[in-house]
RNA sequence: GCGGGUGUAGCUCAGUGGUAGAGCGUCACGUUGCCAACGUGAAUGUCGUCGGUUCAAAUCCGAUCACCCGCUCCA
């Protein structure tokens, strides 16, 4: 069984069939940005729908949310992104290793500490690196001029050019959930443990881009923040690990291409108690495993940070919104009673909940489903390209054909199509040889083709052709809808 | 960011200074009628972009953009 192994072939397939196009292609493209074509948008919509159904709709303990992409700038001060996403970086000319300027040490003096930098001011300053030592190769003073990295996208709010506020496009959807924790709690009669889920766009100025839509600058996340009582966090972490892994398998990802990778203790973010990646074996890079989703135990870090953020608002006003001049205030002694705390009626205790965060990349999963579904097999000595999508994910659920374009067959076929399309994404085609029409649908991943032939006029039956087995079954016209419903129900 | 490679029709690619090409695909008509059939015809090109050299550039030179591979990085 031949299998696509080159990314080039996948890119070509995606363009040829209308799954994914390079963005603004007629102008030469824009680095690491892509558009979804007619089949791609259906596939991606189905991936989102499957996630929402599994994580929100079919659970009693998860609610949905849809936050704005723009948020109050202090959100990013509290979350840590405003500081950590703005770095001065230099490259060792001896070994090409990239290092943050504030991480460089020289022989004698203590290292230069420039946390909370204003990147514009810092970039303009002279940085004397002649005594600095490369941590990778030990070369002294062999550095390029420091480069400023701004990892969050910035924009301005306010039409008056003289009176605008710098705001950021969110680099993750999660913070919108944390800042709405109180709102959801107060409006939804939920009790811990419960989760809040969101699907939406995020933006990051990646230092390096990578491999087609795998690492793009504008991308879509599907994130769940599951709030639980401290002490129960490890159970819930295990629960979501299992749930999320099985989600991919249930939608057809081959078991041998999916695995967990636990983060090493020194790899963990300082606030995370545990973190595991769900990885897929993509056919690019060195055929290496790449992250689809990260599942983290974030403890009570985020809610506590936002309580500090709230307490810092006076400084925000005093510094006229300049985040680089603000330092987050310390926590209150009784922080656990703060506005983002939870009162447990049963135990009569107030605490800051722990958070388990499964964070999936929608574009990455879509690519994985696409790659994993691709197959070539041989039919009567001919190679057949087929995308074996799980029926829930297939962009087109059924194609309807008249066997020939005469004898009243197109009319019957059109009636069937008009009936089915109200419930399923369908496709009608009456042109060309029937075999070619079947093969086209194979390459689009359509699981079923319905063909109206001469016998339909005699006994009202139609053939249903299965994408994977190529078997044809006759069934009455009026049963086709039920057949599809059985096969496609999520 | 570094090194290597690539960029010509929707896709795969040929074309080394002198008329812009092939296969596949697409569309039309005819024929056929259940797995990429056949015949005839047709459409589709800023040769990635900008500049330079030249009588003449897809071809030579420079810059730039984008993608792929390998590093590096990774919030």
* CA→C1' distance for A12 and B21 (Å): 22
Report the C-alpha gap between A484 and A448 in whole angstroms. Answer: 9
Phi, psi of A189 (to 5 degrees): 55, 35
Provide DSSP, A77-117. HHHSHHHHTEEEEEEBTTT--EEEGGG-EESSSPPP---S-
Mean pLDDT of A470-480: 93
Strand B neighbours among A 371-390, CB < 7 A: 379-380, 382-385
| Domains of chain A, residue spans | 7-69+170-300+353-368, 86-150, 396-488
Using pLDDT thresholds of 50, 70 and 90, give the confidence band for residue A114.
very low
Using pLDDT thresholds of 50, 70 and 90, give the confidence band for residue A5.
low
Decide if A181 contacts A227 (C-beta within 8 A): yes
Q: Which residues contact A66 (CB under 8 A, 6 or more apart)?
A: A198, A199, A200
* Positive or negative: CA dihedral A81, A82, A86, A87: negative
A430 touches strand B (CB under 7 A): no
Can you tell me which residue has its alpha carbon closest to the C1' of nucleotide B25? A16
Percent of chain A with pLDDT over 90: 61
Write down the mean pLDDT value for chain A: 87
pLDDT at A120 over 60: no
Nucleotide nearest A202, CA–C1', reads B75
Instruction: Kindly state the tokens that stand for A200.
Output: 């939406």
Q: What is the pLDDT, as a whole number, of residue A88?
A: 64
A243 touches strand B (CB under 7 A): no
Fold of A396-488: Rossmann fold (3.40.50)
Give this complex's ipTM.
Answer: 0.88
Mean pLDDT of A13-20: 91
Decide if A386 contacts A415 (C-beta within 8 A): no
* CA→C1' distance for A418 and B27 (Å): 25
Mean pLDDT of A129-141: 67
Q: Which residues contact A202 (CB under 8 A, 6 or more apart)?
A: A69, A169, A170, A171, A172, A173, A218, A219, A220, A221
* CA→C1' distance for A305 and B32 (Å): 73
pLDDT digits (tens, 9 = 90+) for A389-430: 999 999 999 999 999 888 889 999 999 999 999 999 999 999
Which residue in A291, A273, A139 sits closest to A215, CA to CA? A291
Count the Cβ atoms, other than its own, within 10 Å of residue A208. 7
A209 touches strand B (CB under 7 A): yes
Report the C-alpha gap between A45 and A474 in whole angstroms. Answer: 31
* CA→C1' distance for A31 and B66 (Å): 7
Mean pLDDT of A329-357: 94
Domain A7-69+170-300+353-368 has CATH 2.60.450.10: no
Report the C-alpha gap between A4 and A187 in whole angstroms. Answer: 50
Report the C-alpha gap between A20 and A216 in whole angstroms. Answer: 13
* CA→C1' distance for A20 and B51 (Å): 33
Phi, psi of A30 (to 5 degrees): -135, 135
Strand B neighbours among A 171-190, CB < 7 A: 171
Torsion of CA A384, A389, A394, A397, to 10 degrees: 70
Q: What is the pLDDT, as a whole number, of residue A55?
A: 97
Q: What is the DSSP pairing of strand A105-106 with strand A165-168? A: unpaired
Strand B neighbours among A 85-104, CB < 7 A: 85, 91, 96-98
* CA→C1' distance for A28 and B53 (Å): 26
* CA→C1' distance for A468 and B39 (Å): 33
Using pLDDT thresholds of 50, 70 and 90, give the confidence band for residue A82.
confident
Report the C-alpha gap between A277 and A292 in whole angstroms. Answer: 7
Q: What angle do CA A211, A212, A216 make, to 5 degrees?
A: 90
Nucleotide nearest A434, CA–C1', reads B34
* Positive or negative: CA dihedral A144, A148, A152, A154: negative
Strand B neighbours among A 6-45, CB < 7 A: 7-8, 11-12, 15-16, 22, 26-33
Q: Which of A142-146, A388-392, A458-462 has the lowest mean pLDDT?
A: A142-146
Adjacent-strand bridge partners of A476:
A461
pLDDT digits (tens, 9 = 90+) for A84-111: 665 666 666 666 566 666 666 654 444 4
Count the Cβ atoms, other than its own, within 10 Å of residue A54. 18
Report the C-alpha gap between A209 and A218 in whole angstroms. Answer: 11
A217 touches strand B (CB under 7 A): no
Report the C-alpha gap between A480 and A466 in whole angstroms. Answer: 13
Mean pLDDT of A138-156: 74
Length of chain A counted residue by residue: 490
Q: What is the pLDDT, as a whole number, of residue A212?
A: 87
pLDDT at A242 over 80: yes
pLDDT at A490 over 70: no
A337 touches strand B (CB under 7 A): no
A285 touches strand B (CB under 7 A): yes
Report the C-alpha gap between A142 and A130 in whole angstroms. Answer: 7
* CA→C1' distance for A12 and B69 (Å): 17
Strand B neighbours among A 128-147, CB < 7 A: 136
* CA→C1' distance for A464 and B42 (Å): 35
Provide DSSP, A270-322. TT-SEEEEEEEE-SSTTT-EEEEEEEEEEETHHHHHHHHHHHTHHHHHHTTT-
Higher per-residue pLDDT: A208 or A212 = A212
Instruction: Kindly state the tokens that stand for A405.
Output: 């374009």
């Amino acid at each position: 069984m031949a299998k696509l192994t080159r990314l080039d072939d996948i890119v070509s397939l995606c363009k040829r069939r209308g799954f994914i196009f390079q963005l603004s292609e007629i102008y030469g493209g824009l680095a690491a940005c892509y558009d979804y074509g007619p089949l791609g948008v259906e596939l991606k919509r189905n991936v989102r729908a499957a996630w929402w159904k599994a994580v929100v709709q079919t659970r009693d303990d998860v609610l949905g949310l849809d936050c704005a992409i723009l948020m109050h700038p202090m959100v990013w001060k509290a979350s840590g992104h405003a500081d950590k996403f703005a770095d001065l970086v230099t490259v060792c000319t001896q070994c090409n290793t990239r290092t943050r300027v504030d991480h460089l040490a020289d022989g004698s003096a203590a290292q230069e500490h420039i946390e909370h930098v204003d990147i514009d001011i810092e970039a303009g300053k002279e940085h004397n690196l002649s005594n600095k030592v490369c941590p990778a190769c030990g070369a002294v003073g062999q550095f390029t001029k420091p480069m400023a990295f701004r990892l969050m996208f910035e924009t301005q709010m306010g039409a008056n050019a003289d009176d605008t506020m710098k705001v950021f496009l969110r680099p993750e959807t999660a913070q919108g959930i944390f800042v709405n924790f109180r709102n959801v709690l107060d409006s939804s009669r939920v009790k811990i443990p419960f989760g809040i889920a969101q699907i939406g766009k995020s933006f990051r100025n990646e230092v390096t881009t990578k491999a087609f839509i795998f690492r793009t600058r504008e991308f879509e996340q599907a994130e769940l923040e599951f709030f639980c009582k401290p002490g129960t966090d490890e159970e819930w972490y295990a629960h979501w690990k299992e749930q999320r892994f099985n989600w991919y398998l249930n939608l057809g990802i081959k078991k041998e291409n999916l695995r967990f990778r636990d983060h090493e203790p020194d790899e963990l973010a300082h606030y995370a108690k545990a973190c595991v990646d769900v990885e897929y074996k993509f056919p690019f890079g060195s055929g290496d495993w790449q992250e689809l989703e990260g599942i983290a135990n974030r403890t009570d870090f985020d809610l506590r940070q936002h309580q500090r953020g709230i307490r810092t608002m006076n400084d925000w006003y005093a510094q006229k919104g300049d985040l680089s001049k603000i330092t987050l205030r310390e926590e209150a002694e009784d922080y656990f009673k703060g506005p983002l705390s939870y009162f447990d009626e049963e135990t009569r205790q107030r605490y800051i909940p722990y958070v388990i965060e499964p964070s999936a990349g929608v574009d990455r999963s879509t690519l994985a489903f696409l790659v994993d579904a691709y197959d070539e097999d041989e039919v009567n000595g001919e190679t057949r390209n087929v995308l074996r999508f799980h029926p829930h994910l297939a962009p087109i659920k059924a194609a309807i054909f008249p066997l020939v374009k005469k004898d009243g067959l197109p009319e019957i076929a059109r009636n069937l199509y008009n009936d089915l399309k109200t419930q399923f994404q369908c496709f009608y085609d009456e042109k060309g040889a029937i075999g070619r029409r079947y093969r086209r649908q194979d390459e689009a991943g359509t699981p079923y083709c319905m063909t109206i032939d001469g016998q339909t006029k005699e006994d009202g039956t139609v053939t249903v052709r299965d994408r994977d087995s190529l078997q044809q079954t006759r069934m009455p016209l009026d049963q086709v809808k039920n057949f599809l419903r059985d096969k496609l129900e999520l």
